[in-house]
Chain A
Amino acid sequence: MSGSALASASAAITEPRPWRLLLTLSAVALAALLLLAPIAAVFAEALREGPLTALRSLGAPDAVSAILLTLGIALVAVPVNAAAGIAAAWAIAKFDFRGKAALVTLIDLPFSVSPVVAGLALVLLYGANGLFGGWLAAHELKIVFALPGILLATLFITFPFVARELIPVMVEQGRAEEEAALTLGASGWHMFRTVTLPNIRWALLYGVLLCNARAMGEFGAVAVVSGKIRGQTTTMPIMIEMLYNEYLSVAAFSMAALLAVLALVTLALKSLLEWRHAGLLAATRRH
């Protein structure tokens, strides 16, 4: 959609060539300075003592456990939030009901609340002296300083990503196509699978990738509830901080580089999919 808008704008709005060059170059330079340089520095630091040392630090038992924990958390948090995000976006875009504005604001809450506050809230609710602390202790359930706490914190922080991506797309598309499918005899599930899902797949994919990157990278909220027990409740970002504080900078930056690689892989995956389906994308984006 932005492609055609740009094409039509460029006819009316023109800049002299030197200006265009200058603007483009400064944008690229700024992006390189602010985005690429830090990532490059992380990789340089990780590989300072050679790739073998970096790999060996990642193979340490505590490091492996942190990597597995982070991947496991993302593996649960992303599908749960994708499903919840689709449901919320569906309700907001396709139905009129009282409290719709309140629901939209609620979805934005994790964006506006500091992650540390979110983590503290979990401690207040489920901690030893928390609201449900007594009940949980009586049933020998451990949430804070254990896996469920980390999962809850991650779910809270990453909740908005999928819904936020889907809501504008679904609002713009309206519900006429879904209604058309129903009048043609489709069941609710068939309609969702053949009409709704294909129409939102790109926004959904983008939301899932953002959600995944944040689920793996979340630090603040997880730091409060994790308890930082090595080999048990340390995720990759927590592990990085601990290693860094212990002056194990190669190990810290190797882990940081791996986290960056995981994020870059998801971005590359998205670009690849967009590139592969560019033609279809252009045909179906606008009616």
Chain B
Amino acid sequence: MHIEIDEIAKNFRGTAALHPVSLAIPSGAMVSLLGPSGSGKTTLLRIIAGLEQPSSGRLLLDGRDATGVPVRKRRAGFVFQSYALFRHMTVFENIAYGLRARPRRRRPAESEIARRVGHLLELIRLPQIAGRFPSQLSGGQRQRVALARALATEPGMLLLDEPFGALDAQVRRELRQGLRDIHDETGLTTVFVTHDQEEALTLADRVAVMSMGRIEQAGTPEEIRHRPATQFVRDFILDAQPAPARIDSGPAFAEKDGAGLLRP
């Protein structure tokens, strides 16, 4: 699904969370909205999903004006930062929720639902946990279940809000690759929000760097890295460059890229 953000602005009680921003997200791309907290990236993602209404501007999905289309008709798979799994339902029921919520004539038969949930559990490599409750899962498992639940309704786009924010480094690396694999397999237009420069630059095809409700620069990771358009982008990206090993205080780790390389 091709997403076009056309001069969208958002005010919360008089303060501007988003100044008019425009961004085109080509069909099948994996795009990151990157910025510090308060930069408006989550607001923009929620506007794309239909969870917030823009104060002005238009949202075009596949060329059609979708600004006023209600959330449930947008066909946006959304993964929440807190995952927002339904706590009183099993993993199976969580993933099946979107299919069972359909009006009766478009609802698949229970056997078909079971088949699809099974397939999704295979996709996230957790075939054994269908009967568990969210409280019985680890953080990484919850994240993957939230992803499977969002994919179950065969959405036109996949939107993720800080999908790896609450996880430790090891799990985060695995899940990043998992998300990339799922994206490449399904070809879904994917937009994820992050404040982690390295995550955005290594995972996404295109990155939009945001600050104070504006898009500072949009481009490929290569362009962002080597031709930062503004001072803000320059400073923000600088933090993400591979950290030089410090040799002034005994052995030190070069922590970037996860190598944990020990230098003398």
Contact = CB atoms under 8 A, between A and B. Distances in A.
A36 interface: no
B101 A181 contact: yes
20 contacts: A174-B82, A177-B84, A177-B87, A179-B78, A179-B84, A180-B80, A181-B86, A181-B101, A183-B49, A183-B77, A184-B149, A184-B152, A185-B101, A185-B153, A186-B101, A187-B72, A187-B101, A194-B86, A287-B87, A287-B134
A20 interface: no
Contact of A180 (B50, B73, B78): B78
B98 A185 contact: yes
Nearest to B103: A187
A185 B72 contact: yes
B135 interface: yes
B53 to A, nearest CB: 13
Nearest to A183: B78
Interface in B128-146: 133-136
B80 A284 contact: no
Nearest to B152: A184
Nearest to B46: A179
A195 B153 contact: no
Interface residues of A, number: 22
Interface in A244-265: none
Given A185-B98, A185-B102, A198-B88, A283 B133 contact: yes
A176 interface: yes
A179 B51 contact: yes
B85 interface: yes
Contacts of B149: 180, 184
Interface string B66-91: 00001111101110101011111000
B156 to A, nearest CB: 12
B97 interface: yes
Given A180-B80, A185-B153, A283-B136, A199 B87 contact: yes
